[in-house]
Structure 1
Amino acid sequence: MTQLSSTSTCAVDQRLPLLQMILVSFQHVLLMYGGAVAVPLIIGEAVGLSREDIAFLITADLLVAGIATLVQSLGIGPMGIRMPVMMGASFAAVGSMVAMAGSPGIGLPGIFGATIAAGFFGMLIAPFMSRIVHFFPPLVTGTVITAIGLSLFPVALNWAGGGSAATEFGGLQYLAIAALVLGSILLINRFLRGFWVNVSVLIGMLIGYVVAGGLGMVDLSGLEQSAWVAVVKPMHFGMPEFHLAPILSMCLVVVIIFVESTGMFLALGKVIGKEITPEMLRRGLMCDAGASFFAGFFNTFTHSSFAQNIGLVQMTGVRSRYVTAAAGCLLIGLSLLPKAAYLVASIPPAVLGGAGIAMFGMVAATGIKILQEADIADRRNQLLVAVSIGMGLAPIVRPEFFAHMPLWLEPITHSGIALATISAVLLNLLFNILGGPERAALLNPHPHH
């Protein structure tokens, strides 16, 4: 055990040769870039921002993701788990933020205010999170992450059909581009290996972008006017505004993010052969919350660790936290280049749709994988998953389902993720935690394993 610990410590603290460090860190950036820019793209479109403002949201997101990745990898004071972790805007908050974007009088300032308040709330509860972690066994976590993937799926289909602004939604040209992107991703995963598989989403999007450009679907007007270099200004969209319902909704999202991050940190610990202590977990969650608090002032959203990068650590065998720290520096560099962000903002929705079907589907698949760790053969647990996912899909299948509920509940009743989480936690409490010792023994018949 001592040998494993010292070996893994060496691997985590290893400094690679400069060229190798840059190449491997760039791979991390490529892998998380699509996911990192997806959240500002979704929210920017939901709020109805111009392309210039969406480009600004993306650069702001890259800046905060880069700083948060540096802190998480290297550690500053009580923050940062000091492991190879990439940070970025969390998908968990998208449902709630889209609901806020559609609520009168909230908009971006209300979303940023809720993000700041939720980040502060996260810093307060981070030290206690390890104590309440038994409310979130794999059964609950897996159900929630599955619900996240399913609730994001309509966004992917909206993109694939040409997006909200499409003159002919579902036109064959949009469907063809989306199919080309998805087909490219699937073929790369079938016939190629290693690095190519890791960047298959980006390659698929690049192919789709080039073909869409050839068909005249890419609008680059205004690219020449955008600056080569610009610094992200805090509170670009005005002073943050604080409204109770959005704050409560985002505080719930932070709890969900903590649950996801806890699972990801534990998974990463297994990959690199390092035991995750409660103190390490607290530092990691403090960084998640601190990044979200900071993000609200810098025009972006709640942040969390990225699961796909943990898979990259496993595949490459490169466990050094200095690699992800270098990747954080690359992200900060990209945030200073508005032209690069403008190019990303010009990606047609149909291109994003093809990638989104794969990306959001993978989120759901991750949840299903986590559910395999639970006793899913048990009838009560099946009922928990069924009802919770059903609750999560209610506002997506019929958005008007909760139309007669109080208005202040809207950010929660319009968020499938929030409903699925509340349902899963309460049903797990009813069925399993309050089920008594006999029930606990039934659920965990081999405690020594």
Structure 2
Amino acid sequence: MLPIGQLFAYGLQHVLAMYAGAVAVPLILANALHLSQEQVIYLINADLFCAGIATIIQAIGIGPVGIKFPIMQGVTFAAVSPMILIGQEHGLTSIFGATIAAGLITYLLSPFFSRLMRFFPAVVTGTIITIIGIALLPVAVNWAAGGNSAAANYASPANIGLAFAVLAFILTLNKYVSGFLSNISVLLGLVFGTLLAMPLGIVDFSKVGQADWIGFTMPFAFGMPTFELSSILAMTVVMLVVMTETTGDIIAIGQIVDKPVGAKELTRGLQTDGVATMIGGLFNSFPHTAFAQNVGLVSLTGVKSRFVVATGGLILILFGLFPKAAAVVAAIPNPVLGGAGIVMFGMVASSGIRALTKVNYEGNKNTLIVAVSIGVSMVPLAVPNFYHALPEWARIVLHSGITGGTLSAILLNAFFNEIGKLKLKKTLEKVA
């Protein structure tokens, strides 16, 4: 437990690092479903409010739920495509109903999913952590270019220069200062970048004046949820993918904070996804997962206190209750976020590489496992439409390089390292 001032500064840094990703899902969904501006604002506030509650549950723990690790929670991108289809066919209430049902199913499946920990040795976990970092880097690069490829100033010299100025500022702080200032280098970099962007006309504070001072998130604001079978099945598939990604994030953060992750710990973490997703459906939000970008922030700063992340969750709740405060954070330009993101996401990849250096590569096929899994993870990054002709369920599973690479690492490890062990064990049992 750190002093209040440090808790707030470090917690705010976590919020700023994940804010763009947290609000992107409701923005994309609202645009696809042609919702009104008032509805968009409400969905964003609900999203922040629920993410804050989920983060506090994960970091502090409530009863058997919550892994008590410094993990930020937020709405998952994996659910965007199926939610758009569900919304277009059955409306928002069916999205919320499917979210509630899928959350409950996730909670119930978590203990069984966690028993698969034997399939996550160092070669798998190191590969997954590396893949998470590599897969997130294009997000940071897109932010650095401006975030919207259709904009006239996308990848302009001003945007690129601003991103690299923030990157240089963060690196300089890490070289020449230490202690508290070094630990909040990302936060200071975001402030520096925003101030630098103001005379360039890149910062837009107009939405701050338009936003309300107070906005409460009420359950079922869009009507009572409806439970439609095909929608529930589609969302359940999404949550199975989310459980795989969350497992990778939990293992990554466990290595960073030097705490082993067993089946019990993983169950608590995955059940938080289920509870948070149910809360999301009740309060007009969507499926939740652990946010990988904040894993990199923990690695970069070395601040491993879960109370820092819990403070970040409290800040998210306040942003959800005070739209003007959320609008101020939303005004941070994408190039500024991109400069910071390159550092944070790169740190995730470097953590994975460090873990892979401890793996034994002699007399086995571990090199092949790492090589193929990273290659598979690159497919949707290199060719985003590579899987477009596959069935919807397959596109949901493979749309994320993180998911594809993770599944590849797990299956290849089972093929090369586990099948022979099982046969040997059965043979020894027969001999005995």
Query: What range describes the TM-score normalised by the shorter chain of this pair?
Result: 0.7 to 0.9
Deviation of the 1:292 alpha carbon: 2.9
Q: What is aligned with 1:5?
A: none
Given the alignment of the two structures, is residue 260 of structure 1 paired with residue 249 of structure 2, yes or no? yes
1:181 aligned to which of 149, 166, 171: 166
**SS across alignment from 1:141:** helix
Q: Which moved more, 1:38-47 or 1:329-338?
A: 38-47
Given the alignment of the two structures, is residue 162 of structure 1 paired with residue 149 of structure 2, yes or no? no
Given the alignment of the two structures, is residue 307 of structure 1 paired with residue 295 of structure 2, yes or no? yes
Distance 1:375 1:191 in 2: 37
In 1, are the aligned partners of 2:183 and 2:303 still within 8 Å (CA)? no
**SS across alignment from 1:231:** coil
Given the alignment of the two structures, is residue 38 of structure 1 paired with residue 20 of structure 2, yes or no? yes
In 2, are the aligned partners of 1:59 and 1:336 still within 8 Å (CA)? yes
1:224-270 CA distance string (max 9 Å, x none): 22111211234567757726445313312223313432553475464
In 2, are the aligned partners of 1:100 and 1:111 still within 8 Å (CA)? no
> 1:7-406 counterparts in 2 under 5 A?
21-44=3-26, 46-47=28-29, 49=31, 56=42, 59-81=45-67, 83=68, 85-89=70-74, 93-94=76-77, 96-97=78-79, 99-100=81-82, 109=92, 115-164=99-148, 165-234=150-219, 239=225, 242=231, 244-265=233-254, 268=257, 270=259, 279=264, 281-298=266-283, 299-304=285-290, 307=295, 315=303, 325=310, 328-376=313-361, 380-406=365-391
Deviation of the 1:137 alpha carbon: 1.6
In 2, are the aligned partners of 1:220 and 1:343 still within 8 Å (CA)? yes
Deviation of the 1:362 alpha carbon: 2.1
Distance 2:310 2:338 in 1: 31
TM-score by length of 2: 0.81
Distance 1:314 1:347 in 2: 25
Q: For residues 248 and 130 of structure 1, do their structure 2 counterparts lie closer, same or farther at Cα, with a shift above 3 Å needed? A: closer
Q: For residues 86 and 259 of structure 1, do their structure 2 counterparts lie closer, same or farther at Cα, with a shift above 3 Å needed? A: closer
Distance 1:358 1:395 in 2: 22
Given the alignment of the two structures, is residue 435 of structure 1 paired with residue 425 of structure 2, yes or no? no
Q: For residues 276 and 430 of structure 1, do their structure 2 counterparts lie closer, same or farther at Cα, with a shift above 3 Å needed? A: closer
Q: For residues 327 and 360 of structure 1, do their structure 2 counterparts lie closer, same or farther at Cα, with a shift above 3 Å needed? A: closer
Q: For residues 184 and 30 of structure 1, do their structure 2 counterparts lie closer, same or farther at Cα, with a shift above 3 Å needed? A: same
Q: Which moved more, 1:135-144 or 1:328-337?
A: 328-337
Distance 1:119 1:71 in 2: 15
1:49-84 CA distance string (max 9 Å, x none): 498777655543442333234334544332234x46
Distance 1:28 1:289 in 2: 27
**SS across alignment from 1:303:** strand
1:335-380 CA distance string (max 9 Å, x none): 3211111112222222222122222222222322332342245661
Distance 2:377 2:281 in 1: 26
Deviation of the 1:42 alpha carbon: 3.7
Distance 1:141 1:403 in 2: 29
In 1, are the aligned partners of 2:256 and 2:299 still within 8 Å (CA)? no
Unaligned runs of 5+ in 2: 426-432
Distance 2:363 2:7 in 1: 43
In 2, are the aligned partners of 1:65 and 1:303 still within 8 Å (CA)? no
- Equivalent AA in structure 2 for residue 307 of structure 1: V
**SS across alignment from 1:89:** strand
In 2, are the aligned partners of 1:246 and 1:411 still within 8 Å (CA)? no
Report the count of equivalent residues.
411
Distance 1:21 1:145 in 2: 31
Q: For residues 290 and 357 of structure 1, do their structure 2 counterparts lie closer, same or farther at Cα, with a shift above 3 Å needed? A: same
In 2, are the aligned partners of 1:184 and 1:204 still within 8 Å (CA)? yes
In 2, are the aligned partners of 1:64 and 1:295 still within 8 Å (CA)? yes
Identity in percent: 39
Q: For residues 101 and 64 of structure 1, do their structure 2 counterparts lie closer, same or farther at Cα, with a shift above 3 Å needed? A: closer
Deviation of the 1:382 alpha carbon: 1.2
In 2, are the aligned partners of 1:142 and 1:370 still within 8 Å (CA)? yes
- Equivalent AA in structure 1 for residue 5 of structure 2: L
Q: For residues 437 and 426 of structure 1, do their structure 2 counterparts lie closer, same or farther at Cα, with a shift above 3 Å needed? A: closer
Distance 1:251 1:106 in 2: 23
Q: For residues 356 and 308 of structure 1, do their structure 2 counterparts lie closer, same or farther at Cα, with a shift above 3 Å needed? A: closer
